[in-house]
Amino acid sequence: MSERRENALKLLGVAEGFSAPEIEMNYQKKRQELREKQQSAPTPALAGKFTGLLAKLDSAYAILSDASVGSEQVALNNATSHITSPLSQTKLDDLPGMAPADINRLSFDVGHVLAQRYTIKELIGQGGMGAVYRAHDKNRDEDIAIKILLPSLTNNERALSRFLDEARISSKLSHANIVNVYDVQSDGDLYFLTMELLEGQDLRQVMENQKLVGRPMAIEDIKGYLSQICEGLAAAHEHTVHRDIKPENIWLCDDGRIKLMDFGIAQLQSTSRRTQTGAAMGTAYYMAPEQLKGLKDIDGRADQYAVGVLAYELLTGEVPAGAIEPVEALRKDIPKGMAAAIMRALSPRPESRFESIPLFAEAVQKAKGKTRYKAANTSSVPISTGPNKWVVVAVVVLSLAGLGAIAGTGIWKDWMPASKEEIVQQKAAIAQLQGEISVLKQRLETSRRSLDSDLRDAQRNNSESLAALEQWQGLTEQAIFNSNRIAQLEGGLAVGQTLLREGSYADAHTALQEVRDGYQSLYDNFTAAGNLFEEEQAAKREEQRWNERAQDYGFSNSVTGENAISAKQAATMHASMGEFTEAQAALQQSTKLWQTAIAEKNDDVSRIDRERQAAKEAERQRAAARAEAKAAAERRAAAELAAKRKAAEEAKLARERQAAAERAEAEKRMAKPIVKIAPLYPRRAQSRGVEGYCEVEMTVGINGIPSNITPVDCSPSGYFEKSAVAAAAKFKYVPGFDKQGKPITQSGIRHRFDFTLAK
């Protein structure tokens, strides 16, 4: 194996022995990846790097296809010899790959029968949307193509409904330039389309082969392709919008017919894989701006934009991106009318494009070439033998008849030169636009410098506005100054100035007006970005007010509240896309919706407040009643306690009185001398002139006889003790009695004896 071939195999990621279709598949996959990186490269240097890698890849493929030697025709034949396989209806280079589980689900052996009707013959191709097989239809008795959709694309009800609707629409699109879809079928949980089996190659391969031979595609061939594409789209637009026009979805049959494919597939893709941020559907290189923004109201002018991109690429070999250079600047032999039609189709705004695809096709086909032919020399006009020869003939006839005769009628009026007065007016309007553009550019740059200065001051002073200024700068630097928006506008400005120099004042005015509007939009966007922080805080405060009220009053979120949340999510989406004006409007809407949601509940709040106040008053009254009842109970308890205490006191007093009475009674019954005798006074006391007393304690038996007589209290002491004991022993006392009247022995009986001096 030669070193060149070995290097080529490594570059394409294949090995010796790989079949031509396998080499082709790897080549196309790697080339698509490099093209995507080239188109999205942030710097020209990086884009140039990917351009170099593309060239190396093409060279490697040419080596493996034996296209590096021999004539151009040999290279072309070798490059296209293996592309006679049947139709792979969808090219899936721009879609995610299938999961292993899905691949297993869509893997069928040769001879497998689907829906008891379709016998699998071979796999044509597979990718992120499903797999395409060649199969024999026993009912039709012919080979057809079967496209089986991934279960993950039809595993939910909404996606399946969308798929069935689009399949039905596709089956109704009966036109010579649209692939014929027979029906939508199912086998278990697998759904698939049946369609005609085509031989040939897609337009992308035609374009790549054209690059291999190193020659630009002939303008008449391009016109022929565009004519058939537009005819197919014109028929389709009566029912639907394609949304994904690109070379991979345009099939060139062996007989020269163009077939459009994949109607509705992008729509199904959007349903099953589209993100919450509103990601657009289609292939980014060919998508109209309104698709990239994810807008809902997409019409046929989006397909017109894609055809414009396709025409630009067919003519120049480059996909228009960023600051689009006029197509005639890249290829000098393009008729002016054709170039103008293509650039008009590439207008960012749908309303600036042709109203319909037939009008665009007409403008392309009737465009005059660079060569001027005299009316008298009609024999020098090159008459095409192709399907568009009537265009040239019509131009010759019109030139012979004289444009002046019909200059005031129909579309020919637009072809007449403007008057000097009109030119002066156009120049004045253009000068005004140029001044406005200059003012807006200066205003934008001044605002940027002012923001930088304010941010530095806020950082030094640790200002409260620091967070808002940092957010403002971060958003605008990323979405405005570091993006390709200004480069695109500068490109548009260059286009307008070029048109002005060429004397195309009307076109220059249109181009400069778009630039002016673009800079105005950028400035408005810059200003709106500065308001986002406060708008976010305002929306957050109103949402917090709602949440607090909802929590306090037990409200569930209302439709208005859900709309407020959706508006906030839309604001986040717009901000992520650099659309700060729309983000500000969405945040303001969110704030108003939260306020409306709060206001909608005012009546309920008033009612609940009244109910709560009534309940509070009732509770206060119940509490007062409970307090009064408690106080009454306490008063009753106090009264009862006082009564009990009084009763206890009275009982005590009664007991004490009873005891006193009993003591009094006992005292009455205390032992008294039965016979009163005068004590004998001690002589000593008498001799000394002392008088006093002596109290003794004793036990009186049931017979009244005392015992255990003991002096206990005598005064003065030492004089009367013996006399008192002797005196007490001489008496007989009255005994005590129990309650039954029986005599009892009593101890502790006291008796006092008084001693006085004898007189």
Residues 133-154: b if buried by 16+ CB within 10 A, e if exposed: bbbbbeeeeeebbbbbbbbbbb
Tell me, yes or no, if 202 is annotated catalytic.
no
Residue 466's Cβ-count burial label (10 Å; 0-12, 13-18, 19+) is middle
Tokens of 758: 């004898």
Q: How many Å apart are CA 294 and CA 195, to the nearest integer?
A: 30
Backbone angles phi, psi at 202, to 5 degrees: -80, 165
Exposed/middle/buried for residue 413 (C-beta within 10 Å: 0-12, 13-18, 19+) = exposed
Q: How many CA atoms lie within 13 A of 422 on its CB side?
A: 9
CA torsion through residues 169, 171, 174, 178, sign: positive
**Which residues, in sequence order, are CB contacts of 370 under 8 Å at separation 6+?**
332, 333, 335, 336
Contact indicator for 27, 79 with CB cutoff of 8 Å: no
Q: What does R_g of the chain's alpha carbons equal in angstroms? A: 57
Is 530 in contact with 538 (CB distance < 8 Å)? no
User: What does DSSP assign to residue 675?
Assistant: S
Question: HSE-up of 375 (CA within 13 Å, CB side)?
Answer: 8
The region that residue 503 occupies, defined by phi over 0 for left and psi between -120 and 50 for alpha, beta otherwise, is left
Distance, CA of 167 to CA of 528 (rounded, Å): 43
Catalytic, out of 244, 262, 303, 454: 244
Instruction: Report yes or no: 251 and 212 within 8 Å, Cβ to Cβ.
Output: no
Joined together, the tokens standing for residue 348 give 């960012």
Distance of alpha carbon 127 from alpha carbon 94, whole angstroms: 9
Tokens linked to 470: 């940092």
CB 499 within 8 A of CB 337: no
Residue 682: asked if its preceding bond is cis (omega within 30°), the reply is no
Half-sphere exposure of 458 (CA within 13 A, CB side): 17
Tokens 């021999």 belong to residue: 70
In a 13 Å sphere around the CA of 312, the CA atoms on its Cβ side amount to 26
Do residues 558 and 591 make contact, with C-beta atoms less than 8 angstroms apart? no
> In the chain, what is the straight-line distance between the N-terminal and C-terminal CA atoms, in Å?
176
DSSP 489-553: HHHHHHHHHHHHHTT-HHHHHHHHHHHHHHHHHHHHHHHHHHHHHHHHHHHHHHHHHHHHHHHHH
Q: Under DSSP, is residue 317 helix (H, G, I), strand (E, B) or coil?
A: coil
Bridge partners of residue 755, in order along the sequence: 692
Please choose, from the candidates 247, 257, 369, the residue with its C-alpha nearest in 3D space to the C-alpha of residue 312. Answer: 247
Question: What DSSP string describes 327-373?
Answer: HHHH-TTS-HHHHHHHHHHT-SSGGGS-SSHHHHHHHHHT---SS--
Strands 142-149 and 130-137 turn out to be antiparallel
Of the candidates 24, 361, 405, the one whose C-alpha atom is nearest the C-alpha of residue 208 is: 24
C-beta of residue 57 within 8 angstroms of C-beta of residue 11: yes
The set of catalytic residues is 244
